[in-house]
Amino acid sequence: MSRYIELHPVNPQARLVEKVVDTLRDGGLVAYPTDSGYALACAPGNKEGLDRIRAIRQLDGKHNFTFVCADFA
pLDDT tens for 12-43 read 999 999 999 999 999 999 999 999 999 999 99
Residues 6+ apart with CB under 8 A from 47: none
Q: What integer best gives the mean pLDDT of the chain?
A: 93
The pair phi, psi for residue 69, each rounded to 5°, is -150, 160
Task: Tell me the whole-structure pTM to 2 decimals.
Answer: 0.83
Distances from the Cα of 34 to the Cα of 1, 15, 47, angstroms: 23, 23, 23
pLDDT recorded at residue 2: 84
